[in-house]
Amino acid sequence: MRELADRVVIVTGASRGIGKGLAIGLGALGARVVCAARTVREEPGGLPGTIGATVDAVRAAGGEAIAVQCDIGVEADIKALIDTTVKELGRVDVLVNNAMAPTRALFADATAEEWDESMRVNVRSLFVFVKAVVPHMTAQGGGSIINISSGGAEHASQPHLPPGFLTYAVAKAAMERFSSALAPELRPFGITVNALRPGAVKTELATRELGEDFDWSAWKTPDAVVPAVAFLAQQINTDFTGRVVDSTQFGDVWP
């Protein structure tokens, strides 16, 4: 029996990178996957990948999937995504908050308007997503919310992130605190909330920024994150909640 058989899983940022890898991998484990992202067609000069192509890849791997366009910075899009999922697939068991609008700027060059926009898209969206999905999860007896974080959220990390990642680090740190603070409130409804640090993953964005000649030997491919997320996706009505865990330590340090 496939471990996620018939689970309905929403993966945001599913057009490429970690999100695409999770959609394919979770679909292969039996999940019915909702692939959500802004990208429905490739733009000249943009990164490769669309949610339609991800759906094709999920199906080619033996899974079931649908594509729903969603801009995580637009509240109406988020609500429509949840409503469409329930209408098309009958329920929503797992929400994987993977999408994030990349923000990179030196503090000296950044503006308050850019900061506000990043917090609106990358932090406020978490609140909006959970507000939209919790009533459905509560009505069906539980669910799992998985927030994809980053080692950049670790305030004690050494070496520190290079200059330019201030806003990114703060947004990911907020995601982790949001997860741990929300978990005890949702636990009575059978809903778990966990944050996962995927480790260094070679994605289309990372490749564009660092180049193909970069030493990728210590980096993972997106499919390496699937086992940890699959475990968290099964944590419905359990006490495994409020955790911040690292996928590179799955099967060793945790669970």
156, 160, 166, 171: CA torsion to nearest 10:
-50
Residue the block writes with tokens 């475990």: 231
Q: Is 210 a catalytic residue?
A: no
Annotated catalytic residue, options 23, 58, 130, 168? 168
DSSP labels for 130-175? HHHHHHHHHHHT-EEEEEE--GGG-TT-SSPPPTT-HHHHHHHHHH
Q: Which two tokens stand for residue 23?
A: 């959609």
Helix (H, G, I), strand (E, B) or coil at 4: coil
Q: How many helices (H) and strands (E) does the chain have?
A: 8, 7
With the C-alpha atoms ordered 107, 112, 113, 116, is the resulting torsion angle positive or negative? positive
Residue the block writes with tokens 């932090």: 123
* Cβ atoms of 194 and 235 closer than 8 Å: yes
| Active centre residues (catalytic) | 168
